[in-house]
Structure 1
């Protein structure tokens, strides 16, 4: 028998090299670069079709696949990345995606980048610039304008990761989750000028199991807007400002409306915002509700309304209802809301305002270790209307809760 010249260490070295080659080859086969499908990184050529072809190839792959957007600037019109797909997907961006220069190119679609019914997907890195200056100018001029498009939207998604994404200059909302389950949003940056109209940062509704962590939001409207049907939502390490703060609502838009429950906001900083933490509802009949909300370990820096509940919400101040009648399956409209360890400065003397329904008061409100100051020599004040609860620790301004 002829003796083999391959030693055992050499055999394992060759085996490892072969396995590595197989792994790299397989991975390369499942990376779909949009440039290979005709996308041009010049910021001018319409690359919508190329993006869609790359998506369709990745979505149809039986093995995990990646859509790759390399360094460069790619112009993309309104596009829908539809599912369900056959395997786990990654949408990896090193470059920048820009919207068409003419805001009217979107028509009345409501979406720019839409992921529809896609599960097990990661959206990683890159910049999305909606270039909305022309749209904002139209809105401010009072002309007849399109409704505007959300920059990035996930509809009916499950097991979604969004990480390291930057969204700039959205026409309206930067990033929206609608009807989604189990979503992790990490280290995103959502940026628009403070005077840009209705440019919400992150909007979530009818969704369960969402975390939003380590992100910066600078907008002309809510940094985070929490709509009806939101459950088990965790926000932490948020840097908010400019903008309108974090808002639950507005609720009571309709009679039959889902509620909001189990929301926690912690370890976050608000700088120069219109509001800090806000809960708002229209004064209309509705079976919507808010319960089990925790606002804790927050810093306010020159915030106009650091703590506010407004159940007479009516931003136009025209034809406003005069009383809140929200009937909620036997529960008050708002219950079990905790404000704990909230400190900083208020830009207005009234640092805390809790206005609830006369027919259906807020109950179970807890204030604990609050220290909000106004101008030196002028203490901050609080105002409550039909707000029931308890106060613990040092409360500044003085608690106005009824027991």
Structure 2
């Protein structure tokens, strides 16, 4: 074999090794007994991986590891993959005053694949009293993404979060795929995926059963695409609540398609506070949705009030160009279509197309109720449309 050929093969082998390096946490001293905190071990593995060029894989072997709160920060020299073959378990304690369990921050090209995240949330749920206690302490989100770009989270299971399961802030180009989220229907504030100030977010083929919104979309969210979502139990998929802060960025270009809701408190919901600061919601499409025994299958609520003391003042959030297309199934409430818009800034461009919702109860037929809502209805309208043209 020629010297040139040997040099080429050596260079290729070096490039391949550099292209994908595996950092097994066991090699850094992790003990997978479910009792020994591996926080420092994971930090050490992360730092090594983050400083390496090419693609670095942090491997969590097929065991259960106890993990305390960690913040894994970039930027990194190359792409990072967290490959979870086993499971990570949070501390059993409530962890009052801590806003995260696992946080990823300032990272480009991140992959999280497989495995189970056990938030051990039952210990924290009795302390989730912010709706009645203004001095409530924060509870940890299972996994936070702050300023993360080009990420792929797939085939991952999150169970019993203490607070929300996943939270995205200021993220771009993030895909969730084949993610399973589970918490009891009475677990407070255990939103499946919450996002804000983020763009180009894709959520596909995922099953979410929880005690709050399956997916909640906050201010500054744009180009959000969700397909193949199975939601229930839970509070449905919500845009909002909006209008609670000054200078909120618009929520635009949101699409939900080919999804189903089973036994949810709501299904398709947009909610804004009243009174509120100014805001904008526009270009929203809900399409090809099946609901089974869902309360409030279609609801726009511009008088949303999460607290006992509420105001009769109007919302200042403008809602326009919202399309409900091919929505069918059964409603557990008599008012299957409730579009309650603000008298200060009425909804415009609301579209109801091929709506077929039956009341899933005894006595009465499903009905619709509209206020300050302008738009048009097409095709099947069961219950009859209440929109103003």
Give the alignment's TM-score, normalised by structure 1.
0.90
Partner residue, 1:92: 83
**Aligned 8 A contact 1:323 1:357 in 2:** no
Higher strand share: 2
Q: Distance in 1 between matches of 2:314 and 2:204?
A: 34
Partner residue, 2:334: 349
Q: Which runs of 5+ in 2 are unaligned?
A: none
Partner residue, 1:326: 316
Alignment of 1:215-294 (within 5 A): 215-294=206-285
**Aligned 8 A contact 1:306 1:346 in 2:** yes
- CA shift in 2, pair 1:377/1:313, >3 Å: closer
Which of the two has higher C-alpha Rg? 1
**Aligned 8 A contact 2:265 2:295 in 1:** yes
Alignment of 1:167-178 (within 5 A): 167-178=158-169
Residue 138 of structure 1: how far off its partner (Å): 3.5
1:372 to 324, 334, 357: 357
Q: Distance in 2 between matches of 1:243 and 1:19?
A: 56
**Aligned 8 A contact 1:80 1:116 in 2:** yes
- CA shift in 2, pair 1:53/1:205, >3 Å: same
Residue 147 of structure 1: how far off its partner (Å): 1.8
Residue 117 (1) aligns with residue 128 (2): no
1:280 aligns to what SS in structure 2?
strand
Residue 29 of structure 1: how far off its partner (Å): 7.3
1:309-331, Cα deviation, whole Å (9 max, x unpaired): 0000002231x12132416xxxx
- CA shift in 2, pair 1:25/1:368, >3 Å: closer
- CA shift in 2, pair 1:311/1:123, >3 Å: same
Q: Which runs of 5+ in 1 are unaligned?
A: 7-13, 328-332
**Aligned 8 A contact 2:155 2:179 in 1:** yes
**Aligned 8 A contact 1:323 1:358 in 2:** no
**Aligned 8 A contact 1:120 1:159 in 2:** yes
**Aligned 8 A contact 1:189 1:215 in 2:** yes
1:19-46, Cα deviation, whole Å (9 max, x unpaired): 8993797169710011111111000001
Q: Distance in 1 between matches of 2:11 and 2:25?
A: 25
Residue 284 of structure 1: how far off its partner (Å): 2.2
Q: Distance in 1 between matches of 2:112 and 2:227?
A: 20
2:220 aligns to what SS in structure 1?
coil
Q: Distance in 1 between matches of 2:311 and 2:342?
A: 12
Residue 389 (1) aligns with residue 375 (2): yes
Root-mean-square deviation over aligned CA pairs = 2.3
